[in-house]
């Protein structure tokens, strides 16, 4: 009987720790992104006019501007988080287009972990920007009786982040796999291109919503 975790098959065990297909894929994507980040940083310093340096600079600047618009002023740490989420999710979705590779974002374990990162980043950013008292007081505005609703809202939107990303990526991957099985590789090519576009769009939406939630926490104490 095949052992699974969150529906992911266990490939092998590292001591007592089961290693799933999703863990392997996400680890490889993380290593690739880390290597690309180091290479980009060196290229920006040594060859600032190269195509790689220009693309990297534009990407960083776009997320800096996004955070500045949402939060009211630049926050480099928030921009780094949003950019990292976008790149990780986008690369996982792109990797899922390769034959035999299951996208890590097609697992509820991965999307839940990403949503939990955002969930804890919200109060951390809010407390860092406004202090503990300044952040907590927004839970009691405009009426202290609404405090439970504020808490439910933060938990529900975290669940929505995880389920939305999982559902969209998993459904697209299953559709492409079904078409490939029925019609071969040539007929589903437009569907695969559409699935890739949807994957990039979902990565952008996840990053945007994360930035909005964190930006709202930063601005909470200033209302």
Q: How confident is the model at residue 86, as a pLDDT? A: 92
Local mean pLDDT, 10-residue blocks, the chain (223 residues): 60 77 88 90 82 83 84 80 91 82 83 90 86 82 79 84 82 70 64 79 89 84 57
Between the CA of residue 31 and those of 40, 87, 93, 198, 208, what are the distances in Å? 14, 12, 16, 24, 24
Strand order in the sheet with 17-20: 4-5, 8-14, 17-20
Q: How confident is the model at residue 180, as a pLDDT? A: 66
**CB contact at 8 A, 192 and 176:** yes
Q: Where are the domains of the chain?
A: 4-220
Cβ neighbour number for residue 172 with a 10 Å cutoff: 24
Q: How confident is the model at residue 93, as a pLDDT? A: 86
Q: How confident is the model at residue 1, as a pLDDT? A: 45
Q: How confident is the model at residue 192, as a pLDDT? A: 72
């Amino acid at each position: 009987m095949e052992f699974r975790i969150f529906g992911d098959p266990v490939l092998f065990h590292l001591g007592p720790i089961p290693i799933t297909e999703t863990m392997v894929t996400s680890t490889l994507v993380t290593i690739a992104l880390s290597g690309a980040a180091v290479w980009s940083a060196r290229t920006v310093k040594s060859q600032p006019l190269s195509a790689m340096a220009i693309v990297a600079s534009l990407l960083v600047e776009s997320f800096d501007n996004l955070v500045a618009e949402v939060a009211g002023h630049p926050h480099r740490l928030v921009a780094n988080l949003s950019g990292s989420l976008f790149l990780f999710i986008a690369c996982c979705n792109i990797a899922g287009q390769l034959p035999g590779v299951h996208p890590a974002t097609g697992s509820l374990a991965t999307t839940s972990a990403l949503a939990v990162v955002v969930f804890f980043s919200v109060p951390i950013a809010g407390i860092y920007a406004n202090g503990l008292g300044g952040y907590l007081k927004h839970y009691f505005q405009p009426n202290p009786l609404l405090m439970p609703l504020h808490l439910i809202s933060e938990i529900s939107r975290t669940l929505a982040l995880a389920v939305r990303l999982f559902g969209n990526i998993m459904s697209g991957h299953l559709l492409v796999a079904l078409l490939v099985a029925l019609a071969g590789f040539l007929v589903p090519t437009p569907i695969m291109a559409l699935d890739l576009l949807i994957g990039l769009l979902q990565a952008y939406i996840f990053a945007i919503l994360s930035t909005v939630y964190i930006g709202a926490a930063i601005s909470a104490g200033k209302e």
